[in-house]
Amino acid sequence: METVQLRNPPRRQLKKLDEDSLTKQPEEVFDVLEKLGEGSYGSVYKAIHKETGQIVAIKQVPVESDLQEIIKEISIMQQCDSPHVVKYYGSYFKNTDLWIVMEYCGAGSVSDIIRLRNKTAIFMIPTNPPPTFRKPELWSDNFMDFVKQCLVKSPEQRATATQLLQHPFVKSAKGVSILRDLINEAMDVKLKRQEAQQREVDQDDEENSEEDEMDSGTMVRAAGDEMGTVRVANTMSDGANTMIEHDDTLPSQLGTMVINAEDEEEEGTMKSKALMKLKSWTVEDLQKRLLALDPMMEQEIEEIRQKYQSKRQPILDAIEAKKRRQQNF
């Protein structure tokens, strides 16, 4: 076999912090990159060991926490030396926190996986048979056999990638031309749907235009001792005239009634103008506009989330401070 020579050989792997590193400030030994989350005793951060460049996890635990449990945890981790157990590298005291340097597990917390189902996947995999198709009549025998070979539990009995490439399902696969035809067919269907939606927009635009031609406005009945006055004022942007009608036959006035339709009319006018603008666009312009909506939505959601977090964090800090004061007393 050919040997591959690395251009930049890796630095030595971190096994345990030496005495020289433990006497320094933790910021001199590690660069903290980001906060990963919060555990039962404190917060966990992702950091990099400056000397070796190795990624580690640092758990910062307040000193007023249950130190007995923490010391017990550290003593257990010190005695464990297994690839299946999280490694312990060392500890620091920094201000009022204890920094515990441990192996970084990039896959995340097992508790997140456990909460995905009522029964944990870890317990289901060894006890249950491999999954099967709910409706096998919809799939070919070659495809079901291919998936079955991929889901064999025993690695020794499971087919390798080389063997799977020789499977009839893969060998009998058609060329890329069939995918090209499917893509073209899908694009035609998509274009027809867009044209149908555009026709609906045009129809709604015509209906809105007809509604705009109708007279609608504000009627005010003013209370008085002698005669009532009904004023019908058109609030449309085209600036229609104002009609004033004097009522000489009403013996008395019961009060003032105001009916406003300005907000609805303004909203309808804005929608009508927007639809008229979209009507003049080409299909390509509409598609570009549609693609640009998702990033805009994500940006607005992120801004709202940041505003919410800026209001939420001071409350959480105040709660945490009160809890610490209660523990001190």
Q: Which residues are annotated as a binding site for ATP?
A: 59
Q: Any residues with CB less than 8 A from the CB of 32 and at least 6 apart, and which?
A: 45, 46, 47, 58
Place of tokens 């029964």: 119
SS3 content of the chain, % helix, strand, coil (to 5): 45, 20, 35
Residue 205, classed as helix, strand or coil, is helix
Q: How many CB atoms lie within 10 A of CB 113?
A: 13
Q: Which amino acid is at 47?
A: A
CB 146 within 8 A of CB 169: yes
Q: 82 φ, ψ to 5°?
A: -150, 145
Q: Residue 16: which of 102, 106, 105, 104 has the closest Cα?
A: 102
Interaxial angle between packed helices 177-212 and 262-279, expressed in degrees from 0 to 180 and rounded to the nearest 10: 140
The annotated binding site is made up of 59
Distance of CA 23 to the CA centre of its chain: 42
